[in-house]
Amino acid sequence: MIRHRVHTAAGPRPLGPVAHFTDPEQDVLLLHHVLELSAAEVAEPSRPGRIAFRRGAANPNGSTNVLRSDVLGALGVLKVATADQLQRLLCPGAASNKAIRQALGDLALHGLVASDGNTKDRHKTWRLEGMAGLEAAGHVLGLPRSDMGGTARGAGRSGAQHAMAVNETVLAFVLGGSAPGAAGGVGTVRSWSTETEFPLPGGRRKVRPDGVWQAPEIGVPVLMVEVDRSTMAPADVAAKFPRYRELFRTKVRDNDPALADQESADRTVHWWRRTWPGHTRPGYPPVALVVTDAGPVALANRQQAVANLARDAWGGSWWTIRTHNADGDGWREYDDAVPVISTTLELLAEHGPLGPVWWRYGRQGRHSLLDALEGPDTREAYDERQEAREEKADQEHQEWMRTLACADCGSVPLNQSTEEYGSKGRQIWTRRPGGRCWDCHEKEQQRRQEERQAKAQARRLEAARAANAQLRPCWTCWGSIGGKADSELELTGKAGPDRLECPQCVSDQEVQELGPLVLPAPTKREQVAALLSAPDDPWWDVRVLHAKLHPVKDRAA
């Protein structure tokens, strides 16, 4: 039980230099070293339900092994903390911080922790003491001495205000929101490291986040945390972000054998991808800015000011596709951008990191951590909008085209290029509602032309009928000289002045082979009467003419 606990606490190989010891031997050594347990206590199997608790000479304050170990680990991460903070972090259900103070007292007796000051509101600040303290904490955390940083000696003398704000940030992440119904926390104090330094290219400058948070279990391989107590000018806070970008731009050689035959320039990978694998979102690892120690309005203005000043580092680049006619819409590429999320410590403590407290720079509103880490204005979102736009335009086009359906055959044109054709053949204009398709247009032109021709013909016929009616009637049948209306032989033109019979009678004579018609010659009396006044016989002139052409002596009859 104890062994298992120490294993979990210390990692699989807590004691590298003494690897020749067996696991149980290593455990015993560790417990001696770190927790100052007696040999008997280590050997004794713990009874069910019993929390290891033994008041003995080694730990006169009566603290438990587990708690001392946890306190060392927490101080190893936080560097400086109050008993109150340790209590909230390590035993949040406890009514008071008495147990923590007992553990700190015992650890102090062994020279592993020390206090050298008070916070502004008079809480003792505790830190690890000396090499022994760092090593003990390192064993608990499973970290080598080189990763343990310093002891923050003296930090408590000035109240350690910045460290306290960082601690409260860590506490909010671990514990979740304090408001009723607020989201819970994520991870433990061990998800954090503080005072980690990352050297920038060139080696002289460094990036030093206040906290490095790792929560791969929720898909956040790493989050850099900056805690700002409103003591720096916004420009100085903003200046941190280009430095992060510079840091994240650094690439290292990639030894992936799959890349072996590529140019060596292509065989590189961002170092942070190796350090914190599992990064899936566009852009570099994100940075969270937590501001505090000012009123809500001042803090809001501060976050805005920092966002404006650091835009170049987080904004990405704007892209559009001109042929999409998207009215200026586009998306952002974050290849070389540091995603920044921002909140106040007060909001964070109230609602927790999973509550809607984060403002993602470049986006509206406040979001939960995972929402905020999703980049705004992504290509995917743009593609969706563009698709919706195209669908809408297509629908509108189709509706418009339906209004242009051919008046005759009802065919709907496929596209706007369909045109109505004018009466002068090629003269064209955009097809309008009520127009016709080209085929129907041609048929219609044809129909109209035939109609015009038929009308003209009818007019001509009427004129001929009227003119023929004015002439003398048919000699034989006394009908119209033009013939019976609508009969097969009816004259469609005016009858000539020498016509004597209607076409039907002409045809009948031909059939009966009667020979040419010769009118009766004028009698003597008629000739005398004609000298006095014009005769009203319509055939008079023809009879006179026939009498000359066919003298009576020639006539058969």
| Crossing angle of helices 83-90 and 98-109, rounded to 10° | 110
- Burial of residue 197 (CB within 10 Å: 0-12, 13-18, 19+) is exposed
Helix (H, G, I), strand (E, B) or coil at 516: coil
How many CB atoms sit inside 10 A of residue 341's CB?
Answer: 25
Q: Does 517 bind Zn ion (CB under 5 A)?
A: no
What part of residues 440-459 is at the interface with Zn ion (CB under 5 A)? Answer: 440
9 binds Zn ion (CB under 5 A): no
Query: Which pair of structure tokens corresponds to residue 178?
Result: 């304090």
- Residue 398 Cβ, how far from Zn ion at the closest point, in Å? 18
Q: Which stretch binds Zn ion (CB under 5 A): 55-63, 195-203, 374-382, 470-478?
A: 470-478
For Zn ion, the closer of residues 2 and 474 by Cβ is 474
Cβ closest to Zn ion, residue 99 vs residue 474: 474
Q: Which range, of 240-248, 267-275, 401-409, 453-461, touches Zn ion by CB under 5 A?
A: 401-409
476 is a contact residue toward Zn ion (CB under 5 A): yes
Across the strands, what pairs with 124? 118
Give the binding range for Zn ion (CB under 5 A) out of 114-122, 158-166, 326-334, 435-443: 435-443
Query: Alpha-carbon distance 39 to 31, whole Å?
Result: 9
Q: Cα(390)–Cα(413) distance, rounded to whole angstroms?
A: 19
Residue 412 sits in the site that holds Zn ion (CB under 5 A)? no
Task: Tell me which of 477, 517, 519, 530 binds Zn ion, using CB under 5 A.
Answer: 477
Q: Which stretch binds Zn ion (CB under 5 A): 155-163, 256-264, 405-413, 529-537?
A: 405-413
Return all residues near 128 (Cβ < 8 A) that are at least 6 apart. 72, 75, 76, 79, 112, 113, 114, 134, 136, 137, 151, 152
Closer residue to Zn ion (CB): 288 or 500: 500
Contact 313, 336 (CB under 8 A): no
User: Which stretch, 170-178, 263-271, 467-475, 520-528, contacts Zn ion (CB under 5 A)?
Assistant: 467-475
Spell out the residues 6+ positions from residue 43 whose beta carbon is closer than 8 angstroms to its own. none
Return the number of the residue (203 or 516) whose C-beta is nearest Zn ion. Answer: 516
- CB of 62 or CB of 479, closer to Zn ion: 479
Choosing from 406, 491, 495, 500, the residue that interacts with Zn ion (CB under 5 A) is: 406
Residue 68 or 546: which CB sits closer to Zn ion?
Answer: 546
Per CB under 5 A, 405 contacts Zn ion: no
Whole-number minimum distance, CB 445 to Zn ion, in Å? 13
User: Toward Zn ion, which CB reaches closer, 6 or 500?
Assistant: 500
CB of 155 or CB of 502, closer to Zn ion: 502
- The nearest distance, CB 380 to Zn ion, in angstroms, is 44
- As a whole number of angstroms, the distance between CA 501 and CA 539 comes to 11
For position 408 contacting Zn ion by CB under 5 A, the verdict is yes
What is residue 342's three-state secondary structure?
strand
505 is an interface residue for Zn ion by CB under 5 A: yes
Other CB atoms within a 10 A radius of the CB of residue 36 amount to 19
Q: Which stretch binds Zn ion (CB under 5 A): 252-260, 443-451, 500-508, 522-530?
A: 500-508
Question: What whole-number distance in Å separates Cα of residue 83 and Cα of residue 102?
Answer: 10
Secondary structure (DSSP) of 69-103: HHHHHHHHHHSEEEHHHHHHHH-TT-SSSHHHHHH
Minimum distance from residue 396 beta carbon to Zn ion (Å):
23
Q: Of 123, 111, 196, whose CA–CA distance to 156 is shortest?
A: 123
**Which of 24-32, 174-182, 493-501, 533-541 is the region at the interface with Zn ion (rule: CB under 5 A)?**
493-501
Residue in the block written with tokens 């995917």: 380
Is 117:192 a contact under the CB 8 Å cutoff?
no
Question: Considering beta carbons, is residue 368 or 411 the nearer one to Zn ion?
Answer: 411
Position among 18, 179, 409, 463 found at the interface with Zn ion (CB under 5 A): 409
Binder to Zn ion among 31, 89, 437, 500 (CB under 5 A)?
437
Q: Are 63 and 80 in contact (CB under 8 A)?
A: no
The site for Zn ion, by CB under 5 A, has a size of 11
CB of 420 vs Zn ion, minimal distance in Å: 11
The minimum distance between CB 415 and Zn ion, in angstroms, equals 16
CB of 513 to Zn ion, least distance (A): 17
Segment lying near Zn ion (by CB under 5 A), choices 7-15, 220-228, 400-408, 455-463: 400-408
Question: 333 or 444, CB closer to Zn ion?
Answer: 444
User: CA-CA distance, 419 to 172, in Å (whole number)?
Assistant: 69
DSSP of 161-210, one letter per residue?
A: HHHHHHHHHHHHHHHB--STT--B--S-GGGEE-S--EEPTTSS-EE--S
Residue from 143, 307, 502, 542 binding Zn ion (CB under 5 A): 502
Smallest separation (angstroms) from Zn ion to the CB of 505: 3
Per CB under 5 A, which of residues 138..167 are in contact with Zn ion?
A: none
Measured from the CB atom, is 157 or 402 closer to Zn ion? 402
Buried b / exposed e across 374-392, counting CB within 10 Å, b at 16+?
ebbbbbeebeeebeeeeee
- 401 or 440: CB nearest Zn ion: 440
Candidates 182, 272, 262; CA nearest to 224 is: 272
CA distance readout (Å), 203 to 200, 206, 274, 275: 6, 7, 20, 19
Residue ranges binding Zn ion (CB under 5 A): 406, 408-409, 437, 440, 474, 476-477, 501-502, 505
